[in-house]
Amino acid sequence: AVGEGQQAMFETLEVTTPLMRQDKPRYLMGVGKPADLVGGVARGIDMFDCVLPTRSGRTGQGFTRRGPVNLKNARHADDPRPLDEGCSCPACSRYSRAYLHHLFKAEEVLSLMLLSWHNIQYYQDLMAGMRRAIEAGQFAQFEADFHREQALGDIEPL
């Protein structure tokens, strides 16, 4: 999967995953974009690992229910809202977009830590949501809702 486009990866998973044992975990290495995780789970993958949540966090990119957000962007300089409403991580529950933006512009190490922490929480919540949807027999609805929310893009600037 590493280095291949999403379509090629999904086509390969559609062929290979049915050949894998169902009583063993199915692992896909190096895949980390949220849409790739959702698509991988839809095709039978159970586990992933990737540096993307922390690497992106160190460069100012936060993952949200409405897609990625670049906190270095000037539009966040005066925004008092949290990065992602409803997220329980310290970056979202204690700090505003404006403060996170300031930390990145000031090159404070705290910015890297907070955004990496947020991204890991986002990924944990995404995977937990998929597990709940599978258990409830509602994964198709989860997948549709995920893509609909991601297509909305970031919240409107103030």
pLDDT digits (tens, 9 = 90+) for 27-55: 999 898 999 999 999 999 999 999 999 99
pLDDT digits (tens, 9 = 90+) for 104-128: 999 999 999 999 999 999 999 999 9
What pTM did the predictor assign?
Answer: 0.93
Given a contact cutoff of 8 angstroms between Cβ atoms, the answer to whether 115 and 59 are in contact is no
Given a contact cutoff of 8 angstroms between Cβ atoms, the answer to whether 112 and 26 are in contact is no
Q: Could you tell me the pLDDT band of residue 3, with boundaries at 50, 70 and 90? A: confident
What are the φ and ψ backbone dihedral angles of 61, each rounded to 5 degrees? Answer: -100, 125
